[in-house]
Chain A
């Protein structure tokens, strides 16, 4: 038998295809929290192209963009919406300050939720975000 090639779960494939069509920023991670996709709008907000950010582990993306709360205190992975979606497997929402790889400070609003292919089959998480005030 030939060796089986890698295959992403269909939920992740559909999430990526959906994100690729959206003008809103979308950030997609696998079940371990590793970056598997972000779209062009997210590239602009993060100041980093996907080709450069692909494969970043959670420990990196949760620090490299310096997420902070409204008082300026650093937020650990477990307290940012996408981290909550991965660690607690719960949906989460929040407003935070980040610094893009281009050095630009941005205040963003994030909605994140875990992705389950079946009730016990956690395959990853997705965050949709926009610059705070932009949507209103």
Chain B
């Protein structure tokens, strides 16, 4: 599979001179499977440009996998060009809530007064699939979703294809109420998804000092992600969901902190950056 980062900023789009290197668009990762299938992880503002390119190439079947429905993960959906292209089939996978289906929940955003067009008016054929705790196939890939710790129904994804695994846990606070260093692995949120993934894309929004004021917000620190990656035996780690208030320079310092704590070779820990791509 080929992976391309389309947006890796957390919470709110943050364009500007301080975020030029790692980008200001919110969560969106493009995955092209070996058979050419198009999979998109999250629909943040990074989805807009991808949508234009998918229309250009005539993509007729697209899978959008939503980790959760916080605005920074779905606000690109309304301006995703394939939605307005008749004949396009868009499969949306994501968590339902205990009381509402995924389609109902997405429609809350994709309708007035928050958005001018109602979901039912989209010219594309849109199908919604509950992926709260699921395993399914897309082409030759196996997709697994598990609920993970973040406020509201939220999942992480694991994509396995041809012996390689990509884990995507973008908004995740596994350290909430537990000690990641000593806890038995089956009791660590998201562990099975991340276990021995070739690439682990993981939340790294805060420094340990910032976290003291943000406990329970649903995000991880440099310390949490270093321990989580080590315990999950991740091949390499891509730090994701950059705080909108963090400059490129601050992000560099956070990566250095993760590396110091994890104690691995530099190439195994990278900051996600818009436009970055890699092959698995």
Contact = CB atoms under 8 A, between A and B. Distances in A.
Given A17-B176, A118-B132, A4 B149 contact: no
Looking at B96, B187, B193, the one whose CB has the most chain A CB atoms below 10 A away is B187
A2 B196 contact: yes
Contacts, number: 57
B195 A2 contact: yes
Interface residues of A, number: 22
B147 to A, nearest CB: 4
B17 interface: no
Contacts of B188: 13
B113 interface: no
Interface residues of chain B: helix, strand, loop or mixed (majority): loop
A14 interface: yes
Interface residues of B, number: 25
A7 B196 contact: no
B128 interface: no
Interface of A: 1-2, 4-11, 13-14, 16-18, 20-21, 116-119, 121
Given A118-B98, A118-B132, 8 more contacts: A1-B160, A4-B192, A6-B186, A7-B193, A9-B133, A13-B187, A20-B178, A118-B96
Interface of B: 96, 98, 132-133, 142, 146-149, 160, 163, 165, 176-178, 185-189, 191-193, 195-196
